[in-house]
Structure 1
Amino acid sequence: MLVVAALGGNALLRRGEEMTAAAQERNVTLAAEYLAQIVRAGHSLVVTHGNGPQVGMLAMQADPWPLDILGAETDGMIGYVIERALENALAHDRPVVTLLTQVVVDGDDPAFAAPTKFIGPVWSRAEAEAIAAPRGWTIAQDGDHWRRTVPSPLPLDLPDLKAIQILLKHGAVVICGGGGGIPVVRRADGTHHGVEAVVDKDRASALLAARLGAEALLFLTDVEAVFVDFDTPTAQPLKTLSEAEAGAMDLPAGSMRPKVEAALSFLREGGTTAAIGRLEDAPKLLSGQAGTLVHLEGGGG
């Protein structure tokens, strides 16, 4: 079975931790152990990951490069750490490859006029306004804090799909689509050009899984499942979640909503299994023993 595992931010940084190389190393080493269990069970594996905090920190530099370049830079850095950890966890018995992955978006996507994707550190409102004003940034409230927001256009195509397929054919574990992929637009002459945006990792992972013909798509985070009444005394984890049930829920836009929507998108394109749950439960998600199994109406996923 081909499995696409989308790592949430907790694979690199636990809640409340400072973003340091040591913390990232420690968390990725743990993540690699759980991912290695999927490979040892005989499955082919593609790993995607986020990069919001990292790309946002690089953008704080005095003279930052464009977001597509910063995306490539963070994808290489994060991919290297995951690659090394996975090689170690698998005792170097198979190739693990990090591929910088371009994702085509529409230059006229409405997202460019309404930035919603959070990146970088958190501040108080006063701090955010003081930092954003001279840089011409857009900011918005993220929970109890404020952060920079950037455009997040929909992913449309994957120019590097053939390269990923070749690597999988030769037995490699592939780390790709980091941070939702490097956003590019395709001009009339067929050339690609980078744009100032950060593509949503979950949506890009769903597109990647569908185009690869993967059987399973796992969204791995630090929450055990999708919850009803999340973060309240009456919170209850859901073992399954149908399309209709998801539509009736008030899911957080910055957390579970994109994961559920991406899971449904993957299933509509022919995927078999789409599940959301904790990183440490990754092998159990495949068998429905943990997390939330998302399914379309009249089907079991």
Structure 2
Amino acid sequence: MSKKRMVIALGHKDLGFTLPELKAATEKTAVMIADFVENGYQVALVFSNAPQVGMIHTAMKNLAEEYPDQYVNTPLSVCSAMSQGLIGYDLQSSVRAELVKRGIYKTASTILTQVLVDPYDESFYNPIKKVGKIMNAEEARREEDNGNHVTMISEGKFQRIVSAPIPKSIVEIDAIKALLDADQVVIACGGGGIPVLRQGNNLKGAAAVIEKDRTAGLLAKEIDADILLITTAVDHVSLNFGQPDEKALDKMSIEEAKQYIKDGHFEFKSMQPKVEAGIDFVEAGNGRRAIITSMELAEKAVAGLAGTTIA
């Protein structure tokens, strides 16, 4: 009997914000992952990279400003690739160590993953994702002179904003499938993947970021997973979040989830992409479940005892 497959999308709460936090967080996260492997699941991991890619982008920008004769500004796509290696390294090391501790001898491998996006995606005309260093007015003006978009985040403080296009296809999907077929743990599509545009035979990095939950849903469809598990800062999805009449949801049908989105119950930059990814995944096959919960309740949620399930 073939094993069940699970895609786990890890939020940045489960990975920390600094390098020391990242190492400690991946060791904790590895316990949950190893539990699922020990229980017979084939696991593919996707992770958030927002704090890390921002750190890298800021560091590389500062380096170019301090040593203009030696360094040039690093494209955001390259910063995304660097963050995949940074987080993937600690994550695969921690997962391997936890598996070996349990007598399970299989690798965890990070795949540098590119994700194709549509050059005509409407988000390219309406950038919303903040990235990189906080700038003063003069720095913001220079950023705009370089052809980038900025937004004021408070009086006299600005930050670059980029697009968040919808992922269309995963370039390295065959490599991901091959590792899963070999019953190995796969870490892929970090940060939603490196957004790329097709130009003839070449792929060109785009100045954008992709919602990691949307890519996790796409990956789950492509590998024919049974479960899409999205970990986040809350234990469940709620209606009227943060209000006196807040209502936790333990399950939603596809139709109910779509109606809740239409009624504006979910914040469009945080919870809504998670719910939409769950809908898209569940709709694409029979017997699938999408689960949204905290990492602490992940195992209970997969058992149907916690979190919010879309089915």
TM-score by length of 1: 0.88
Q: How does 1:1-301 map to 2 (within 5 A)?
A: 1-13=4-16, 19-60=17-58, 61-62=61-62, 63=64, 64-91=73-100, 93-120=105-132, 129=137, 131-136=139-144, 137-139=149-151, 147-187=159-199, 189-241=200-252, 242-243=256-257, 244-270=259-285, 272-294=288-310, 301=311
**Whole-angstrom distance in 2 between the partners of 1:147 and 1:156:** 28
Q: Is the 8 A contact 2:140 2:159 kept in 1?
A: no
Query: Where do 5+ consecutive residues of structure 1 fail to align?
Result: 14-18, 295-300
**Whole-angstrom distance in 1 between the partners of 2:237 and 2:113:** 29
**Partner amino acid, structure 2, of 1:236:** K
Q: Is the 8 A contact 2:18 2:52 kept in 1?
A: no
Q: Is the 8 A contact 1:46 1:175 kept in 2?
A: yes
**Partner amino acid, structure 2, of 1:117:** K
**Partner amino acid, structure 1, of 2:120:** D
Aligned residue in 1 for 2:70: none
Q: After the TM superposition, which of the residue ranges 93-102 and 112-121 deviates more from structure 2?
A: 112-121
**Partner amino acid, structure 1, of 2:163:** P
**Partner amino acid, structure 1, of 2:249:** L
**Partner amino acid, structure 2, of 1:135:** E
Of structures 1 and 2, the larger Rg is shown by 2
Q: Is the 8 A contact 1:38 1:282 kept in 2?
A: no
**Whole-angstrom distance in 2 between the partners of 1:250 and 1:146:** 29
**Partner amino acid, structure 2, of 1:286:** V
Give the deviation of 1:130 after TM superposition: 5.7
**Whole-angstrom distance in 2 between the partners of 1:119 and 1:172:** 33
**Whole-angstrom distance in 1 between the partners of 2:36 and 2:138:** 46
**Whole-angstrom distance in 1 between the partners of 2:267 and 2:158:** 16
**Whole-angstrom distance in 1 between the partners of 2:54 and 2:169:** 24
Give the deviation of 1:141 after TM superposition: 5.0
Sequence identity (%): 33
**Partner amino acid, structure 2, of 1:245:** Y
Q: Is the 8 A contact 2:260 2:266 kept in 1?
A: no
* Deviation per residue, 1:175-205 (Å, 9 max, x gap): 0000110111112x33212111111111111
Q: Is the 8 A contact 1:150 1:198 kept in 2?
A: yes
**Whole-angstrom distance in 1 between the partners of 2:125 and 2:138:** 22
**Whole-angstrom distance in 2 between the partners of 1:132 and 1:236:** 42
**Whole-angstrom distance in 1 between the partners of 2:159 and 2:269:** 12
CA, structure 1 residues 131+55, in 2 after alignment: closer, same or farther (shift >3 Å)? farther
**Whole-angstrom distance in 2 between the partners of 1:128 and 1:214:** 46
| SS in structure 2 of the partner of residue 90 of structure 1 | helix
Query: Where do 5+ consecutive residues of structure 2 fail to align?
Result: 65-72
Give the deviation of 1:274 after TM superposition: 0.3
| SS in structure 2 of the partner of residue 167 of structure 1 | helix
**Whole-angstrom distance in 1 between the partners of 2:177 and 2:209:** 24
**Whole-angstrom distance in 1 between the partners of 2:307 and 2:88:** 26
Give the deviation of 1:2 after TM superposition: 0.3
Aligned length: 283
Q: Is the 8 A contact 1:164 1:174 kept in 2?
A: yes
CA, structure 1 residues 129+255, in 2 after alignment: closer, same or farther (shift >3 Å)? farther
Q: Is the 8 A contact 2:143 2:150 kept in 1?
A: no
**Whole-angstrom distance in 2 between the partners of 1:206 and 1:146:** 32
**Whole-angstrom distance in 2 between the partners of 1:140 and 1:48:** 31
* Deviation per residue, 1:102-155 (Å, 9 max, x gap): 10011222211211123346x6xxx6656533322422659xx97532111111
